Structure 1
Amino acid sequence: MPAYVGAIKVTSVSSSSIFHIGDAYSIQPMSTAKTYAGGGSFNTGEGINVHLGHSSTFVYDKDFIDQGITTQG
């Protein structure tokens, strides 16, 4: 069903982003990334206390590819 959209202000769109308004059959990413981080790395908020005695991040990945990029045309 078509939609009517009011005013939109786009401040920025990065190189691997998708800016979408309206109907779409399929939207797929054109880049992938893998992030490794230790315990307590992505905590957000106020007054967070993280106590880690010993923290290890294992980055071995035997299959190498988690999400392949293919294009449909």
Structure 2
Amino acid sequence: MPAKVGAVKVINVSSSGIFNIGDVYSMNPESSAKTYAGGGSFNSGDGIRVNLANSTTYVYDPDQVDQSITS
């Protein structure tokens, strides 16, 4: 059902975001990212203590593509 839309001010749309005004059948944002994190990463909270001594994160990736994005 069509709708009337008044003034719209867009400040920012992220690189993997979608902005649409009007009728649409399907919207599919697509993005890809690879994150390397060593032991003790992504911890959150109060009073966390992590002791890893010597920790190494290997980032060698010979295949270059893990998951392709196609439309």
Band of TM-score, shorter chain: 0.5 to 0.7
Query: Unaligned stretches of 5+ in structure 2?
Result: 1-11, 20-24
User: TM-score with structure 2 length normalisation?
Assistant: 0.60
* Alpha-carbon distance in structure 1 between the residues aligned to 2:48 and 2:18: 33
Query: Unaligned stretches of 5+ in structure 1?
Result: 1-11
Matched, 1:15 2:15: yes
* Alpha-carbon distance in structure 1 between the residues aligned to 2:14 and 2:56: 32
Equivalence for 1:49: 49
Equivalence for 1:69: 69
Runs of 4+ in 1 over 4 A off after TM superposition: none
* Alpha-carbon distance in structure 1 between the residues aligned to 2:15 and 2:27: 19
Higher-Rg structure is 2
Q: Match for 1:27: what amino acid?
A: N
Equivalence for 1:6: none
Query: What are the residue-to-residue correspondences of 1:21-36 with 2, within 5 Å?
Result: 27-29=28-30, 31-36=31-36
* Alpha-carbon distance in structure 2 between the residues aligned to 1:33 and 1:63: 15
Secondary structure at the aligned position of 1:45 is classed as coil
Shift in CA distance, 43/13, structure 1 to aligned 2, threshold 3 Å = farther
* Alpha-carbon distance in structure 1 between the residues aligned to 2:49 and 2:60: 29
How many residues are matched?
Answer: 59
